[in-house]
Amino acid sequence: MDSILVRGNGPVTGDIEIAGAKNACLTLMPATLLSEEPLTLTNAPRLSDIKTMTALLTSLGAEISSLQEGKVLTMSSHADLNPVADYEIVRKMRASNLVLGPLLARLGHAVVSLPGGCAIGARPMDLHTTALEALGAEIELKDGYLHATTRGGLKGAVHKMRFPSVGATENFVMAASLAKGTSVLENAAREPEIVDLVACLKKMGAQIEGEGTDRIEIQGVDRLHGATHPVVTDRIELGTFMLAPAICGGEVTCLGGKLSLVESFVTKLNEAGIEVTESARGLTVKRTGDRVKSVNVTTEPFPGFPTDLQAQMMALLCTATGTSVLEETIFENRFMHAPELIRMGAQIEVHGGHATVHGVERLKGAQVMATDLRASVSLILAGLAAEGETVVSRVYHLDRGYEFVEKKLSGIGAHIERIKA
């Protein structure tokens, strides 16, 4: 099993190109199931999760070709589709559940295994199933699989979610695009990945209004056609690499970055003493003092502070002046990186959904273990600011969500290398 070796070596300087968004691409790919015509995605990230979704869609009958070293994906679902999403593929990734809505809309029935992914919380499927049931689906859980059917096809309806789930919003919007009549989703998620999905669906002929707000209205159409669509910039990779100069000094420009994608995150960086400027090239980040200031952070649905940047922010605050409190409100099991940071000399106390971080002057290198995708990169960031060497094991998590992380960080002067098993 591969590991990552990081040597703390002072400031970093240069440019980092930000990839297309993993979470957006994993949402856009199942949209191919909604049409018999080809869907082409450009600016696709080259990640193991994308390979997993490719395998899943291929098992369902889609044809997928990868061009330009994986940055362009051309997909076609013109053949007869298989309605069964098998456990052996679905167990590897939470986003696999996003085939449920498109299969129901296209075929009228689907059998989808309960999904896997990072062990950061329960993330129940009931938000998805109740949303689709509002459109007329009948869903039953049997032997670990969701068996979903419709009687006469999906029908437009009004549904209010009890929580603005990103995945459930995406499943509802895709399914409702081919439903009969008008559908309204209230308390919808507002993330940029949803706005990106809707932009793609509109190119395919869908009639949707309200994306980016908490109320989305969909007028169902009889069929969708093919389209070409660029995947939006990955705001989580963007925020992650913005923290490199914040945690160890220097100045880095994240190419393609936009402030609108990370406003709440940048607000906290500014409070901590980090300068962020926007230009046509992207976002340039510079630390203004020797150490950052302590700040309090609460994760919230977009446009609030992203849960997917909480672990990385904790790594930064480990060396801040003073005491910071991080509150996790999205996933109940997302402080598993804290014990690993403590191994590096951090002073952290976790009580339920709160973590109190007492800043220390310097972290120390250690052998640590990645527990999930975002935790893995938080430990790498901590290693950049630590004395000596840090070895991060179980980095298969990292490869699910970060494209060429060693190459990108090496390009700005970090001492980082992969140790092959």
Tokens of 261: 């994608």
Q: Which of 25, 118, 248, 318 is an active site residue?
A: 118
363 is known to lie in a ligand binding site: no
- What 3 state SS string does 203-243 have? HCCCEEECCCCCEEEEECCCCCCCEEEECCECHHHHHHHHH
Tokens of 215: 């109320």
89 is known to lie in a ligand binding site: no
23 is known to lie in a ligand binding site: yes
Q: Helix 126-134 vs helix 100-107: angle between axes, to the nearest 10 degrees?
A: 20
Q: Which residues contact residue 101 at a Cβ distance below 8 angstroms, ignoring those fewer than 6 apart?
A: 30, 128, 132, 170, 171, 172, 173, 174, 175
94 is known to lie in a ligand binding site: yes
334 is known to lie in a ligand binding site: no
Contact between 283 and 259 (Cβ < 8 Å): yes
Residue type present at position 168? A
Q: What DSSP element (H or E) covers 148?
A: strand 145-150
Alpha-carbon distance 59 to 65, whole Å?
14
Rounded to the nearest 5 degrees, what angle is found at the Cα of 234, between the Cα atoms of 68 and 359?
Answer: 135
308 is known to lie in a ligand binding site: yes
124 is known to lie in a ligand binding site: yes
- Peptide bond preceding 45: is omega within 30 degrees of 0, i.e. cis? no
Catalytic annotation present for 200: no
143 is known to lie in a ligand binding site: no
**Helix/strand/coil for 321:** strand
Alpha-carbon distance 229 to 218, whole Å?
20
Alpha-carbon distance 148 to 240, whole Å?
38
**Helix/strand/coil for 9:** coil
Binding residues: 22-23, 94, 123-127, 308, 330
Binding residues for UDP-N-acetyl-alpha-D-glucosamine: 94, 123-127, 308, 330
Catalytic residues: 118
Binding residues for phosphoenolpyruvate: 22-23
